[in-house]
Amino acid sequence: MHIHILGICGTFMGSLAQLAKSQGHRVTGCDSNVYPPMSTQLQQAGIELVEGFDPEQLQPPPDLVVIGNALSRGNALVEYVLDKGLPYTSGPQWLGEVFLRDKWVLAVAGTHGKTTTSSMLAWILEHAQMNPGFLIGGVPANFGVSARVGNSQFFVVEADEYDTAFFDKRSKFVHYHPRTVILNNLEYDHADIFPDLAAIQTQFHHLIRTVPGNGLIVASAQEAIGQTLDRGCWTPVQRYAVTEGNGEPEWRADLISDDGGEFAVYFKGQSVGQVRWQLTGEHNVANGLAAIAAARHTGVSPSLSCEALSVFQGVKRRMEILANSCGVTVYDDFAHHPTAIASTLQGLRKKVAAEKIIAVIEPRSNTMKMGVHRTTLADATREADQVIWFRPDGIGWSIDELVADSPVPAKAVDNIEELVRDSLQAAHGGGHIVVMSNGGFGGFHDRLVKALEEVHEHD
């Protein structure tokens, strides 16, 4: 079967393409922006990529067109598919019907931490020799790929609340029919499709409605999650928190080290294990705790889960170290929401103490460009020593507002060359450069690392 995927370089669609390829299908695809790490993964998998949306790529027509949610009416390929009556579907619907049917699906949902928590959960099951399938919106370092079919009844999926396709405006996760669900947290995001937090909660409640009575919902103790569950829940719920919270959650983590590099795990007040790992930040401790709780539902003991997390290697683009030279460490991080930016910088601050931290941030997401978070963005960077903001194309407000409101020294730049120069200058003498963007950032990461290597060669 020949499957052609429109918008193939998105994290979800690219992962889906690899699953289809592994099942013996001929898979091709196209996108307007082809960049690593997804483009590299796809090429290594033998998947042919086409740049752009010229309808000629559908001649001869494939057996099925899978359309990503970034494409809409007016796109030349979408119009061609409709005009010619070609068979088409959405990525989430195809995933649910082809790969998830008859599986024990473990779905990880929430505003933040989905990719990392999904990666942790998949690795725990792998460490327990359960050989799970998975589809994750990132690349777990322990696996080196973002998706695989697996060889068991278990399948871990990152459950995104973004809409499914131009012809299906439900959240992606309603197609997955999970038995185990993690609800990490809920904050306002995706302002391009949701008018307010209540609208997001409605979609999450649709997810809750699909979980069977013999399933399990692992829910954070966050108020917004509790409000969503209060709308109606027909499934057992186990709550978790990094510190003791109201209502005494079933799962609790106590920090042993202040930076989150070591923590103890408790279930119903009893100590069940400890984790000592390379990750930092209270947010990652919460992610790990949720993964431990979900894995227990499948029969994995908390102690074995703790053992697995102690050798968890992290996820590409989640505080991934790209370079360490001349006393400067460069990190690539996907943070694209004020809460994620703040928690990431807080975790790094606790790890590096008084060492210099430079945050280089591209407010690239649709929500960021619309200015929804502009009043909280500046304050999210207070753990940095300096912030450099990059002005992306299509932004509907002035980045200068962030510079003016910044609690730490800050500036805004317009071009990548200047950004590289300013970043290295800010880190002169040693420090940590954290690059935060949910896109390719115009090749900035590679250019910064190359410039740092050139400095090293001349020293």
Give the CATH number, domain containing residue 421: 3.90.190.20
pLDDT at 219 over 90: yes
The domain total for the chain is 3
Which is more confidently placed, 85 or 342? 85
pLDDT of res. 397:
81
Domain identity same for 295 and 386: no
Termini Cα distance of the chain = 56
pLDDT of res. 143:
93
pLDDT band at 158 (very low <50, low <70, confident <90, very high): very high
Domain identity same for 86 and 113: no
Q: What is the mean pLDDT of residues 353-382?
A: 83
Beta strands in 210-340 (DSSP E): 216-220, 237-241, 251-255, 262-267, 270-276, 320-325, 328-333
pLDDT of res. 35:
66
Q: What is the mean pLDDT of residues 32-40?
A: 74
Structure tokens given for 164: 């499914």
Q: Which residue has the tokens 């459950």?
A: 159
Structure tokens given for 433: 């450069």
Domain identity same for 332 and 233: no
pLDDT of res. 247:
59
The CATH number for 11's domain is 3.40.50.720
Spatial CA neighbour of 419 closest among 346, 357, 358, 375? 358
Cα separation of 294 and 113, whole Å? 15
Domain-located, residue 314: no
pLDDT of res. 167:
96
pLDDT of res. 349:
92
Task: Classify residue 6 as exposed, middle or buried by CB count within 10 Å of its CB (0-12, 13-18, 19+).
Answer: buried
Which is more confidently placed, 226 or 453? 226
Q: What is the mean pLDDT of residues 136-163?
A: 92
Spatial CA neighbour of 220 closest among 278, 163, 291, 301? 291
Give the pairing of strands 262-267 and 270-276: antiparallel
Residue type, 410: A
pLDDT of res. 1:
94
Domain-located, residue 47: yes
- Residue 180, beta-bridge partner list: 106, 216
Residue finishing a domain among 72, 90, 108: 90
pLDDT at 245 over 60: no
Residues 315-350: tens digit of each pLDDT: 887 888 888 888 899 999 887 778 888 888 988 998
Structure tokens given for 436: 């935060």
Domain identity same for 40 and 189: no
pLDDT band at 374 (very low <50, low <70, confident <90, very high): confident
Contact at 8 Å (CB) between 165 and 68?
yes
Residues 381-435: tens digit of each pLDDT: 999 999 999 887 778 788 888 888 899 989 989 888 999 999 998 888 899 999 9
Domain identity same for 226 and 147: yes
Domain-located, residue 225: yes
pLDDT of res. 208:
97
Highest mean pLDDT among 28-42, 224-238, 410-424 belongs to 224-238
Domain identity same for 17 and 115: no
Domain identity same for 359 and 254: no
Residue finishing a domain among 42, 69, 90: 90
Domain-located, residue 37: yes
pLDDT band at 28 (very low <50, low <70, confident <90, very high): very high
Domain identity same for 112 and 132: yes
- Alpha carbon dihedral 131, 101, 140, 255, in 10-degree steps, equals -90
pLDDT band at 377 (very low <50, low <70, confident <90, very high): confident
Instruction: Count other C-beta atoms under 10 Å from residue 346's C-beta.
Output: 19
Domain identity same for 86 and 104: no
pLDDT of res. 459:
58
pLDDT at 38 over 90: no
Domain identity same for 71 and 111: no
Average pLDDT in the chain: 90
Domain-located, residue 180: yes
Residue finishing a domain among 268, 287, 309: 309
What is the chain's alpha carbon radius of gyration, rounded to the nearest angstrom? 22
Domain-located, residue 134: yes
Spatial CA neighbour of 218 closest among 233, 201, 200, 199? 233
pLDDT of res. 281:
87
Domain-located, residue 267: yes
> What is the CA angle 77-83-87, rounded to 5?
75
Q: What is the mean pLDDT of residues 282-292?
A: 95
Cα separation of 55 and 243, whole Å? 55
| Cβ within 8 Å of residue 324, ≥6 positions away | 330
Residue type, 127: H
Cα separation of 123 and 143, whole Å? 8
Helix residue spans in 52-113 (DSSP H) = 76-84, 91-94
pLDDT of res. 366:
67
Cα 445 to Cα 236, 412, 426, 452, 455, distances in angstroms: 44, 17, 16, 11, 16
Residues 52-62: tens digit of each pLDDT: 999 999 999 99
Full residue range of the structural domain in which residue 76 is found: 2-90
Spatial CA neighbour of 108 closest among 204, 27, 187? 204
Highest mean pLDDT among 201-210, 334-343, 450-459 belongs to 201-210
Spatial CA neighbour of 360 closest among 404, 399, 397? 399
The CATH number for 138's domain is 3.40.1190.10
Domain identity same for 36 and 170: no
pLDDT band at 457 (very low <50, low <70, confident <90, very high): low
Q: Render the burial of 46-74: b for 16+ CB within 10 Å, e for the rest.
A: ebebbeebeeebbeeebebbbbbbbbeee
Q: What is the mean pLDDT of residues 175-203?
A: 89
Q: What is the pTM of this model?
A: 0.83
User: Cα–chain-centroid distance for residue 74?
Assistant: 29
Cα 314 to Cα 82, 185, 186, 374, distances in angstroms: 42, 20, 23, 29
Domain identity same for 286 and 407: no
